[in-house]
Amino acid sequence: MMTNVVEKFLRYVKIDTQSLMDQSTFPSTEKQLALSRLLVDELNQLGLQEVTIDENGYVMATLPATTSRALPTLGLIAHVDTSQDFSGENVNPQFVKNYDGGDIILNAEQNIVLSPTEFPDLLDYVGEELITTDGTTLLGADDKAGVAEIMTAVEYLAQHPEIEHGKIRVAFTPDEEVGQGADRFDVQKFGADFGYTVDGGGIGELEYENFNAAMARISIQGRGVHPGSAKDKMINAALVAIELNEMLPVNMRPEYTDGYEGFFHLWRLNADVEHADIIYLIRDHNRDLFEEKKHLLKLAADYLNVKYPAGTVELKIKDQYFNMKEKLAPVMHIIETAKKAMLELGIEPKVTPIRGGTDGARLSFMGLPCPNLFTGGHNFHGKYEYIPTRSMEKSVEVILKIIDLYSQAQ
């Protein structure tokens, strides 16, 4: 099983599936479909049924029940795309066979080092085998590890029809990283009673709370005048952008928050004298505090439109997703079963709020309750990403144990 999950992961990360914001197509990039089509081929080879890929790039398949008993239909979901924050082209995974607790040189030529000084979680994996980047790309464990783990689990079950289980539905989605992964997901077609996204971090993570999320796009129109004669005439859009940012609380920046604390994340800024464009990501687990943050940004924009000519600052805020906890509270058996599965496998469940979002958040509000299981990966979206191979194996075991527990419960 270990060999299978690692082999699959290494095969999948070689395919560049980076998604991009603000594209007119769905999925946002054609190259995501290369992995999706490969998965269709592999699912067919495994003998799964109802294997489909629709016009939007959603892959779905069925592993039929092996019992006539009435068992719930369980869904397993992961996304194929990787973040646009860092290159996913020509990924070249490196193996650390027996990690000794020291620095890991990812790229000697560029002096890129993965160090427990900066990333202390590394010390949890002393003696284990790690897969890292070569320092020039991300690794893609978010979420190709989840894809590989689901594929390995269903492969095992397909090869062992003597194991009793209910109907299992599998889905692989595009564009999760740009917040569109659930936009065209057909919950009715998927037909699961509940599901699990396999899209979390380190071993033991189990998440059913996530941020409420919004994206704020701000356009600032300046007035360019020769600096030699600019007095009382120039409006420097770049400086107005800085002024707006300085009106937001410093302690509400991502680098100063953790746990349940929300933030304003200055994600994009392009500016010159004439014009500035800003994108903020607004996040908070608490719905009231989330609304307050949106209101605070609006107040800042309103103030600047009084200080400067009306219309200088144009603000548009779009809600992206909400905290799935309210949708999972009535069906907590999904969480309790995952906890039990981990404990029976000797894994301590780490129930933590997601400081981000998953497709599961959107899907939960669309009628498919969907908490999040760990993949084993760390430091997603950048060159310091790594994943212990043992954690990948344990993820597969947890998936299989959850399925087993539901087959025993009836």
CA angle 16, 22, 27 (to 5 degrees): 50
Q: Compute the CA torsion angle 287, 288, 289, 293 (nearest 10 deg).
A: 100
Strand partners, 60: 52, 171
Residue type, 82: T
Catalytic residue among 16, 81, 359, 393: 81
Question: Using an 8 Å Cβ cutoff, are 161 and 33 in contact?
Answer: no
Q: Is the peptide bond before 27 cis (omega within 30 degrees of 0)?
A: yes
Residues 6, 189: Cα–Cα separation, whole Å = 31
Q: Establish whether 314 is a catalytic residue.
A: no
Residue type, 209: E
Nearest-CA neighbor of 135 among 109, 107, 95? 107
Residue type, 91: V
Q: Establish whether 81 is a catalytic residue.
A: yes
Element (H, E) at 388: strand 386-388
Q: Where are the beta strands (DSSP E) in 180-230?
A: 194-200, 205-207, 212-221
Burial of 259 from C-beta contacts in 10 A (0-12 / 13-18 / 19+): exposed
**374 by DSSP, 3-state: which?**
strand
Residues 177, 88: Cα–Cα separation, whole Å = 13
Catalytic residue among 16, 176, 199, 209: 176
Question: Using an 8 Å Cβ cutoff, are 18 and 29 in contact?
Answer: yes
What region, left, alpha or beta, does residue 14 occupy, with left being phi > 0 and alpha being psi -120 to 50 degrees? alpha
Nearest-CA neighbor of 217 among 164, 280, 310, 160? 280
Residues 188, 191: Cα–Cα separation, whole Å = 5
Q: Where are the beta strands (DSSP E) in 38-103?
A: 49-53, 59-63, 74-79, 94-96
Any idea which residue has 């069906």 for tokens? 331
Residues 109, 113: Cα–Cα separation, whole Å = 11
Residues 72, 299: Cα–Cα separation, whole Å = 48
Work out whether strand 112-114 and strand 104-107 pair parallel, antiparallel, or are unpaired.
Answer: antiparallel
Active site residues: 81, 176
